[in-house]
Amino acid sequence: MTAETPARPRPVPATVLPTSRRWPRLAAYGAVFGAAGLALLLPTSTAGAAWYFAGQLLDAEDNRPHPIRIREVTDGRVRLTRTDDLLRPMPLGLAWPGGHARLGDVVDVDRTTVVREVVHVSRGVLRPGVRAYSSGKVFDGDPRSARGLGYSEILIPGELGDLAAWFVPATGLPRDTWIIAVHGWKSSREDALRVLPVLAASGMPTLVVSYRNDAGAPASADRCHHLGHTEWSDVAAAVRYARTHGARDVVLYGWSMGGAIVLNLLRRAEEAKDVRAVVLDSPVIDWAETLRMHARTLRLPRAWLSTALWLVQHRLGVRLDDLDHRRYAADLRVPTLVFLDRDDRVVATAPTREFAARRPDLVTILETESCGHCHFWNRAPERYETALSDFLGSL
């Protein structure tokens, strides 16, 4: 189906550069989809700012900011630039070029820094002066090195070429339902490492997949993320792979934009008939409302938002209304478990609640507060894993 081209907005006035007080808020509230960073760095015109934003959102290059400076490393502890994320009382990942560490408890806080325990350094060396970012991905590497699980690297034939995936066999009583795990925006297969032991124990083999424009994956012609509008085809290829290798049906599991990809597959793919259930963690249900949320938080002009929305739609070739999954809740046919945090500053949560409210017969939604985007497991791992295990066991 050919999408109608969105109407071009009228000319808009210039936007003033952010003041020194406002700049930290821009960095703190940069749109971060799938646990990765997007800094909203406004040039001098509204049109230029909106063009830059659209590029940051859609371009596949991993250009996330590194807002944290490593200040001091001593005796299993690290002093870091203070951020809201680092103040949260839960394990976090710390990533820097060529390195990754798992952070434990908050030990000390002052006006500008946070001291946290270092539980494990999986790659690289923590050195003062290095810039980093935090995320919910506390595990780094592959299923064996990070979680002690056997696995094999496989290639799944996709529309644009072969797509790398991990195949993780079940450790529990084997079942003929497979799980297909789909990571978020500018993220990676490591998203799934937190829950792989629970998935394996369920008796369901798991495919942890990559999709177009991932590092090492085939690139689309425009080298852009399409917010689930085209990526669903690569997940459909994984469903076909599972079916031809012994799966009777599948559970689709998506984080952030991975959730949007899953919901697009249910609407568009013939393979939707093979889907038995869905798990969504901090899903993007409505991209337009998520962008509006960031514009409100940053107190950006309406003209900026109008231009940014038009540019995103123009580059995608699809109206963002078509990617609002509330509109298709009536078509949902499978049990769906949703994990959500009330304090998600990355993805708008109201559309997710509305989606669930429209299908209380099929959608179970669990919420936390004050843990952030895709951090439910980090804050409440036992609650998360119990709910996930019970859900899979009920299928």
For residue 258, what pLDDT is reported? 98
Q: What is the pTM of this model?
A: 0.88
- Per domain, the residue ranges of the chain are 68-135, 143-289+321-393
pLDDT digits (tens, 9 = 90+) for 14-46: 333 233 333 333 433 343 433 333 333 444 466
pLDDT digits (tens, 9 = 90+) for 244-270: 999 999 999 999 999 999 999 999 999
Question: Could you tell me which of 310, 330, 332 has the C-alpha nearest to residue 320?
Answer: 310
Class for the domain spanning 68-135: mainly beta
Of 3.30.70.260, 3.20.20.210, 2.170.8.10, 3.40.50.1820, which CATH number belongs to 143-289+321-393?
Answer: 3.40.50.1820
Please provide the average confidence, as pLDDT, over all residues in the chain.
89
Give the confidence band of 9 by pLDDT, cuts at 50, 70, 90. very low
Please report, for residues 21, 122, 200, the alpha-carbon distance to residue 25 in angstroms, rounded to integers and kept in the order given.
8, 31, 41
Question: Could you tell me which of 363, 369, 362, 395 has the C-alpha nearest to residue 383?
Answer: 369
- Residue 348 per-residue DSSP state: -
